[in-house]
Amino acid sequence: MVTFLDKAGSAEALAQFLASAQSDPNIAGLMILAADGNGFAPEVLDPILQQVTKPLFGAIFPAIIHGGQTLTIGTLVIGLPVAPRIVTIRELSRLALPRDLLEELGEPNGAPGTAFMWLDSFSQAADALLDVFYNHFGPALRLLGGGAGSLDMRQKPCIISNAGLLDDAAVIAVLDLPSGIAARHGWVKLAGPYHVTESEKNVIHSLNWRPAATVYSAVVSSVAGEMPPPDRFYEVSRNFPFGLQRYGVERIVRDPFLVDGNSLICVGDVPQSSLVDILTGSKESLLVAADEALMIAESRLAAHGRATTLFLVDCVSRMLFLDDHFAGELALMNMPGVEMVGALTLGEIAGTGRDYPVFYNKTAVVGVFDR
């Protein structure tokens, strides 16, 4: 992969990068990762994107990653050595996703392949889209991606395509490239399990037949002190996520970011009748987990080659939790001769090729590629 980085995050620099890539015969397709601080808007970006004839896809995130740096302003253009097959899905939250949605991506051909999936994190359609993806491809493809958008929690155009900048949308790109992918989070049980007795998509109404906010606040206040008012809820809740229990594997983390009366609103669905724990973590446990994800990802690529590109999809709330220690997580990922790129996302997506793909929160997802 070939990368172009503009730390100023200007539309003019992006146009120059795309023009250069357009004329490069070694670049077959493009992925664009942009920081929300750029302030990109459709009226500026659409004419630039619509001039590109090579297939492109990407998204806007709270921050992007290049090398050991986290950038809240900047644009990363990644030139791909193979042409991606791309599906763009509009009106994601209002669409009943048909089973044949991904037919134009073709059928699994038995060759090692990887898909990228970027979606508007405020569409609340990640789990439904993953169902459609797995029904079409099964475990044949490895999958890497996450939720795009802004930390201001307002929905706005954040999905990048040849057609322009889109909101309430998703893009899936399939590349004939082998990869090794792994996900780890490092959060551990504080209390539970609790039966999710009433929920609707990403909103938990009751736990053990009691108001969800009451149950959660009682546990968290016992270790963190008095809960703040609702408008400052996330200042504390980001340190105490939920963990959806799974048999024999690491929990799926769900991040409660808003309180609405007696209900808790999470990033990602929490199925009714599931069992959840309230989790906690330390900076050390999160760093160890990220290191484990890297080692596992490398081992899964080993049959195809050695890593030359590392793609990190990391939760922006992990960065907020780790604070100054987040630089240590990036340092753990630094390998000689391997270029690191990635994004800080609002939810992370991983499919290892061994199990069902998952939409995570507060998790480090590592993908390594041999070119």
Q: Residue 18's pLDDT band (boundaries 50, 70, 90)?
A: very high
**126 and 209 share a domain?**
no
pLDDT tens digits, one per residue of 302-350: 988 889 999 999 999 999 999 999 999 999 998 899 999 999 999 999 9
Cα(204)–Cα(218) distance, integer angstroms: 16
**Residue 105: pLDDT above 90?**
no
Range of the domain at 265: 188-280
Q: Which of 157, 184, 175, 181 is nearest to 38 (CA)?
A: 157
Residues 179 and 85 in one domain: yes
Same domain as 79, residue 202: no
The mean pLDDT value for 198-214 works out to 97
Look at residues 264, 280, 296 and tell me which one is the last residue of a structural domain. 280
Long-range interactions of 128-131: CB distance < 8 A, separation 24+: 128/97, 129/89, 129/92, 129/97, 129/170, 130/349, 130/351, 130/356, 130/357, 130/358, 130/359, 131/97
Same domain membership, residue 237 and residue 296: no
Residues 66 and 145 reside in one and the same domain:
yes
Residues 9 and 100 in one domain: yes
> Are 266 and 143 in the same domain?
no
User: 124 falls in which pLDDT band (50, 70, 90)?
Assistant: confident
Over residues 295-301, the mean pLDDT reads 95
What share of residues in the chain are helix, strand, coil (percent, to 5)?
A: 30, 35, 35
Note whether 206 and 299 are same-domain residues. no
State pLDDT tens for residues 28-49. 999 999 999 999 999 999 999 9
Percent with pLDDT over 70 in the chain: 99
Residue 76 has pLDDT above 80, yes or no: yes
Query: Within this chain, do residues 58 and 78 fall inside the same structural domain, yes or no?
Result: yes
Cα torsion angle, 235, 238, 242, 244, sign: positive
Same domain, 102 and 155: yes
236 and 295 together in one domain: no
Q: How many domains does the chain have?
A: 2
pLDDT in tens, 247-283: 878 899 999 999 999 999 998 899 999 999 999 999 9
The two tokens of residue 334 are 């630094």
Which residues, in sequence order, are bridge partners of residue 210? 207
pLDDT bin (cut points 50, 70, 90) of residue 20 is very high
Q: Which tokens hold the place of 201?
A: 């998509």
